[in-house]
Amino acid sequence: MNVLVIGSGGREHAIVEALSRSPKNPKIYCAPGNAGIAQLAECVAIKDTEVEKLVEFAKANNVELTVVGPEAALAAGVVDRFQQEGLLIFGPTKAAAEIEASKDFAKRLMVKYDVPTAAYATFSDFDEAMAYVRQGSLPTVLKYDGLAAGKGVVIATTMEEAEATLRDMLLDTKFGEGRVVVEEFLTGEEFSLMCFVAGNKICAMPVAQDHKRAYDNDEGPNTGGMGAYTELPFITAEDHAYAMKNIMQRVADAMVAEGTPFSGVLYGGLMKTPNGIKVIEFNARFGDPETEVVLPRLVSDAVDVFSAVARGEQPEAEWSKEATLGIVLASKGYPGNYDKGFAIRGTERVECKLYHMGTQLKDGELVTAGGRVMFVVASAPTLREAQLKAREEISKIECDNLFHRTDIGNKAFR
Ligand code: AMP
Ligand code: GLY
């Protein structure tokens, strides 16, 4: 069986690795892939948004299942095109992916179907937005409505900051033409609940927690994620059941009712607030870096799970009982400017999962090629052991230009 994975980061490395464990022993292609993925799959030089080339490749190589990683590919309509050609593909259509691409779409859906989330209003006019913000309390959350690569959310703690941000977003159109969602500021522990979704049929993955800030103690700028772990002691079975029923299942049903049934991974970015669990955001794809700590626990055949979802059948997945914890090695300077091309040594000594995020082979040598470079993921019977192991394993990797957080998972022990 031939399988194609679209994307090139740690998330796609984890997807490829899960597929490689399938007893069906599939031949795996990855477009475009990376140096780590190349150890498990044949990398193909097609970008994730080159939809027609991907369709052509899948046809020419008898690809029976395609799995989409990045949201850029979804936004480019890759799923719609594959479906038009009768090719089996795991991921939502462009219309269903609106739940991530448009914050306003997601908010309207949640209000209509009574899904718990922060109070909000949407504006395209600067003066109206300012008037609304002045009436409310601080801090206030300002979200640019559109794909802004994670930079579209500002938590303003003063009126001056709120005004400057709204000016950037609505008057100076620094992010492009768009609207702004002004949202109530929520407090509590954040967590990620990803579900396989096939229309109204859903199946939960283990709950994970991302660490978005660059430095220890959640200080420094927001990043693509500096570490993650499963399971979360502060999310009880009751919390989980509540979130599945009132958030994930309700949204899956709502998407069907709205005529844009969801297929693929619905990612709930949730917060356990003093007033119950609420939605911060939805993503229409596997989370990164959550996927890298979740998929290692998949016991079921990944080909079967992804195929069932793509066919609209009830997904069923068995998960191992262990805990997982992963620490990202990032280039010094990330998420700001950083240099590339530094040699990475010692990876062959690492005795746990090692996902490549931004690496390259240069003259046969592994070198840094991105902001986030590698992700060390350890599994163990307890989270403590997984944390110790990840720390031990990461110390084996030598490179002159990498840094990592030392407190990944500590929130679980407070
Ligand atoms: P998002 O891009 O929507 O995930 O937002 C980025 C980060 O901003 C989230 O991970 C939260 O930490 C924070 N955030 C977003 N919305 C809110 C909110 N309503 N209240 C508090 N924090 C928020
Ligand atoms: N971990 C957050 C995201 O994938 O968007």
Per DSSP, the residues of 207-236 read PBEE--EEEGGGEEEE-S-SEEEE--TTS-
First to last CA, the chain: 47
What pLDDT does residue 153 have?
87
The pLDDT, as a whole number, for residue 147 is 60
Residue 113's pLDDT is 98
Atom 4 of ligand 2: nearest residue by CA position: 287
Minimum mean pLDDT among 26-35, 172-181, 240-249, 316-325: which range? 172-181
Task: Please choose from 267, 280, 285 the residue to mutate so as to test ligand 1's pocket, defined by most ligand atoms within 8 A of CB.
Answer: 280
pLDDT per position as a tens digit, 218-232: 999 989 999 999 989
What is the percent of the chain with per-residue pLDDT over 90, rounded to a whole number? 93
Local confidence band at 146 (pLDDT 50, 70, 90 cut-offs): low
Q: What confidence tier does 254 reach under pLDDT thresholds 50, 70, 90?
A: very high
Residue 149 has pLDDT above 60, yes or no: no
pLDDT, average across residues 179-197: 96
Strands 27-32 and 42-43: parallel
Cα(230) to ligand 2 centroid in Å equals 15
Token pair of 401 as six digits: 């230009």
Ligand 2, residue 287: give the atom nearest the CA: 4
- Give the span between the Cα atoms of 314 and 305, in whole angstroms: 9
Which tokens belong to 406? 């030392």
Closest CA to 214 of 201, 223, 227: 223
> Does any ligand 2 atom lie closer than 6 A to the CB of residue 292?
no
Q: Is the pLDDT of residue 148 over 60?
A: no
At the top level of CATH, which class does the domain 119-184 belong to?
alpha beta
- When mean pLDDT is compared across 12-26, 170-184, 281-295, 320-334, the lowest value belongs to 170-184
CA of 64 to the centre of ligand 1 (A): 38
Q: Is 264 in the pocket of ligand 2 (CB under 6 A)?
A: no
Whole-angstrom Cα distance, residue 347 to residue 24?
A: 28
Q: Distance between CA atoms of 120 and 111, rounded to whole angstroms?
A: 10
116 lines ligand 1 (CB under 6 A): no
The full length of the chain comes to 414
**pLDDT for the residue 76:** 96
Q: Which CATH superfamily is domain 323-413 in?
A: Phosphoribosylglycinamide synthetase, C-terminal domain (3.90.600.10)
Asked if pLDDT for residue 30 goes beyond 60, the answer is yes
Read off the pLDDT band of 151 (50, 70, 90): low
Model confidence at 242: pLDDT above 80: yes
Query: What pTM was estimated for this model as a whole?
Result: 0.95
CA of 280 to the centre of ligand 1 (A): 6
With a cut of 90, say whether residue 380 has pLDDT above it. Answer: yes
Asked if 368 and 50 count as a contact pair (C-beta separation under 8 A), the reply is: no
Please give the CATH topology (third level) of the domain spanning 189-311: D-amino Acid Aminotransferase; Chain A, domain 1 (3.30.470)
- Counting ligand 2 atoms within 8 A of each CB, the residue from 71, 147, 193, 267 with the most, and so the one to mutate, is 267
Region 1-19: mean pLDDT is 98
Sign of CA dihedral 97, 98, 103, 105: negative
What's the pLDDT band for 364 if we cut at 50, 70, 90?
very high
Q: Pick the ligand that lies closest to the CA of residue 290.
A: 2
Q: From the CB of 283, is ligand 2 less than 6 Å away?
A: yes
104: its two tokens = 């306003």
Q: How far is the CA of 209 from the centre of ligand 2 (A)?
A: 10
Checking if the pLDDT of 321 tops 80, the result is yes
Whether 345 shows a pLDDT value over 80: the answer reads yes
Q: How far is CA 45 from the centre of its chain?
A: 23
Taking residues 120-129, what's their average pLDDT?
94
If one residue of 100, 207, 210 were mutated to test the ligand 2 pocket, choosing by the most ligand atoms within 8 A of its CB, it would be 210
State residue 414's pLDDT score. 83
Question: Which pLDDT does position 379 carry in this prediction?
Answer: 98
Distance (angstroms) between ligand 1 centre and the Cα of 184 equals 10
Give the pLDDT score at 177.
72
Ligand 2 pocket test: which of 283, 285, 328, 375 has the largest number of ligand atoms within 8 Å of its C-beta? 283
CB-based contacts of 377, cutoff 8 Å, min separation 6 = 292, 293, 296, 324, 325, 326, 352, 353, 354, 355, 390
Which of the following CATH numbers is that of domain 2-91: 3.40.630.30, 3.40.980.10, 3.40.50.300, 3.40.50.20?
A: 3.40.50.20
Handedness of CA 50, 56, 60, 65 (dihedral sign): positive
350 lines ligand 1 (CB under 6 A): no
Q: Would you kindly state where each structural domain of the chain is located, as residue ranges?
A: 2-91, 119-184, 189-311, 323-413
Q: Is 148 in the pocket of ligand 1 (CB under 6 A)?
A: no
